[in-house]
């Protein structure tokens, strides 16, 4: 009766001394383990590619978890939100939790009440206008009764089609 291998493990191995390597990807079986030898240049190329993919995946994960929609895409709908003095913790359907520190969370700060005389309503301060603009607005208010309002209809190329005076 012949024995046969039921399970075989395979590992990629760096060939420490490339002079014994006749071709890249040589296979050696030791006990029940198969080793595929790879030259240092190929080893570097393969491991660097894996590291680049890990960096890209980590950056994508970070960027998508900064927004509520991105987290919902990865973990499902938010199930709960806990607000504390330290910040906000979001809980998601799959058990994932996301914490946002308090300095990132916008706060509603109460505004100081303005002192007003009894019976007066507080009005926001009006920005001062440049002197020429203030004169122009004052002149427009003085002739408000004499201003004519006109509706004009324009056609293609800016041609005036119809003018109507409003009463």
Helix residue ranges per DSSP H, the chain: 40-65, 68-75, 131-142
HSE-up of residue 79 (Cα within 13 Å, Cβ side): 9
What's the predicted TM-score (pTM) here?
0.38
Q: What mean pLDDT do residues 30-50 have?
A: 76
* Contact indicator for 9, 34 with CB cutoff of 8 Å: yes
Q: What Rg value do the Cα atoms of the chain yield, rounded?
A: 38
Q: What value, to the nearest 5°, has the Cα angle with vertex 14 and ends 43 and 47?
A: 30
Cα–Cα distance for residue pair 95/90, rounded to 1 Å: 10
Give per-residue pLDDT as tens, 93-128. Answer: 888 999 888 775 555 556 666 566 666 666 666 677
């Amino acid at each position: 009766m012949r024995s046969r291998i039921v399970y075989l493990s395979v590992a990629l191995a760096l060939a420490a001394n490339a002079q014994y390597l006749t071709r890249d990807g040589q296979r050696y079986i030791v006990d029940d383990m198969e080793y595929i030898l790879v030259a240092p240049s190929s080893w570097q190329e393969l491991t660097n590619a894996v590291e680049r993919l890990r960096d890209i995946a980590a950056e994508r994960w970070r960027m998508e978890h900064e927004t509520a929609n991105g987290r919902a895409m990865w973990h499902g709908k938010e199930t709960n939100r806990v607000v504390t003095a330290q910040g906000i913790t979001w809980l998601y359907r799959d058990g994932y939790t996301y914490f946002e520190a308090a300095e990132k969370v916008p706060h509603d700060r109460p505004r100081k009440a303005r002192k007003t005389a009894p019976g007066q309503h507080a009005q926001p301060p009006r920005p001062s206008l440049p002197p020429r603009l203030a004169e122009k607005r004052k002149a427009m208010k003085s002739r408000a009764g004499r201003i004519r309002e006109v509706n004009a209809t324009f056609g293609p190329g800016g041609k005036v089609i119809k003018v109507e005076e409003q009463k």
